[in-house]
Amino acid sequence: MPSSKPRILIARRIFPEVVQRLSQHFEVQANDDDVQWNAQQLAAQLQDKDGVLTTGGQRIDAPLLAACPRLKIVANMAVGYNNFDVPAMTAAGVQGTNTPDVLTETTADFGFALLMATARRMTESEHYLRAGLWKNWSYDMFAGSEVHGSTLGILGMGRIGQGIARRGAHGFGMRVIYHNRSRLAAELEAECRASYVDKDQLLAEADHLVLVLPYTPESHHAIGAAELARMKPTATLINIARGGIVDDAALAQALAERRIAAAGLDVFESEPAVHPGLLQVPNVVLTPHIASATVPTRLAMANLAADNLIAFFTQGWALTPVNTPASTKFE
């Protein structure tokens, strides 16, 4: 007799224990080879599936949904879900979910680490040392910019932005300014010791500007040549949000011409490809989209994505939904 369990696809390799958990509830097909499928390949894999666990690189849009009429839920193992066409999913009656909260502090830790590595020129100086170029001490060797007591600017003040603000204000005595679509409640501002400013003031006054906003059509190239020109020549720019928020070509040029001091980038416009101009300049710290990458946090993300699938199919609702389809295809 055929199994009556819902069928789900795990679109990328994840923790075996989470696959095991999912197997108790579903007929599971896992992508053990960990290949990144293109749209046609994903659609082919989803023909007989009721749900899918995706990662942030997997586009879910109207043509894919039209090609997969059986699909009822897409559980993203990421807090960002710019890979989803949310209106198309809602129109198709497909539930989308993400993984908020479980990665907030880990990602804020990484944002701060990247800020410090960038300001204090850590990777640039390590490359110099490894290349055998360190022969002598000199007063200005890899002299960077100050972190403690400086002005920390944050663009996007959600949970991760607030985590970075707290680290800066309470740990490093920084003056914290932020810009966001909406202003935080007064108590939250006080807790983060953060002051709301407009975007121009943020650009002009930040010694370290950290980007933590979602990627949407409105935030595309929120930092381009014009914005970089408004920053201090001594400033650093840190992007742990999404590629596409920064115009990578404009940033590479600004770094090459030292119009800002340095940048720390965990995300890129065409990742995993990196703009060649960024690879050529020394004053940038580059990491491969690892801000949430600790074992406990990635496990918590995978488990939350799994919990969303389980709750949806066993109780009819998701734990952390990103949309509310009028009628899901759940029966």
Instruction: Report, in Å, the least distance between residue 51 CB and ligand 8YV.
Output: 17
The alpha carbons of the chain give a radius of gyration, in whole angstroms, of 22
Marked catalytic residue, from 27, 105, 191, 271: 271
Q: Does 108 bind ligand 8YV (CB under 6 A)?
A: no
Whether 289 sits among the annotated catalytic residues: the reply is yes
Instruction: Report, in Å, the least distance between residue 103 CB and ligand 8YV.
Output: 6
Q: Residue 79 or residue 203: which is nearer to ligand 8YV going by CB?
A: 79
Q: Does 55 bind ligand 8YV (CB under 6 A)?
A: yes
- Whole-angstrom distance, CA of residue 180 vs CA of residue 95: 27
For 278, list phi and psi in degrees, rounded to 5.
Answer: -75, -30
**What is the bridge-based pairing of β-strands 236-239 and 73-76?**
unpaired
Q: Does 115 bind ligand 8YV (CB under 6 A)?
A: no
**Looking at 14, 65, 68, 78, which residue binds ligand 8YV (CB under 6 A)?**
78
Strand partners, 38: none
Q: Which residues contact 13 (CB under 8 A, 6 or more apart)?
A: 30, 31, 32, 33, 34
Would you call the peptide bond into 272 cis, given omega within 30 degrees of 0 as the criterion?
yes
Instruction: Report, in Å, the least distance between residue 190 CB and ligand 8YV.
Output: 28
- Find, among 271, 232, 226, the residue nearest to 253 by Cα: 226
Q: Using CB under 6 A, which of the segments 22-30, 73-81, 84-92, 229-237 binds ligand 8YV?
A: 73-81
Q: Residue 79 or residue 311: which is nearer to ligand 8YV going by CB?
A: 79
Q: Using CB under 6 A, which of the segments 75-83, 153-161, 173-181, 205-213 binds ligand 8YV?
A: 75-83
Are 155 and 179 within 8 A, CB to CB?
Answer: yes
Q: Using CB under 6 A, which of the segments 16-24, 77-85, 129-137, 156-164 binds ligand 8YV?
A: 77-85
Instruction: Specify burial of residue 227 (Cβ count, 10 A radius: 0-12, 13-18, 19+).
Output: buried
Q: Does 106 bind ligand 8YV (CB under 6 A)?
A: no
Q: Does 56 bind ligand 8YV (CB under 6 A)?
A: yes
Marked catalytic residue, from 21, 121, 242, 298: 242
DSSP-derived letter for residue 217 is G
Are 176 and 165 within 8 A, CB to CB?
Answer: yes
Q: Does 11 bind ligand 8YV (CB under 6 A)?
A: no
The amino acid occupying position 145 is: S
Q: Which residues contact 52 (CB under 8 A, 6 or more apart)?
A: 8, 9, 10, 11, 46, 71, 73, 74, 75
Whether 271 sits among the annotated catalytic residues: the reply is yes
**Looking at 80, 93, 277, 321, which residue binds ligand 8YV (CB under 6 A)?**
80
Q: Does 206 bind ligand 8YV (CB under 6 A)?
A: no
List residues binding ligand 8YV (CB under 6 A): 55-56, 77-80, 103, 292
Active site residues: 242, 271, 289
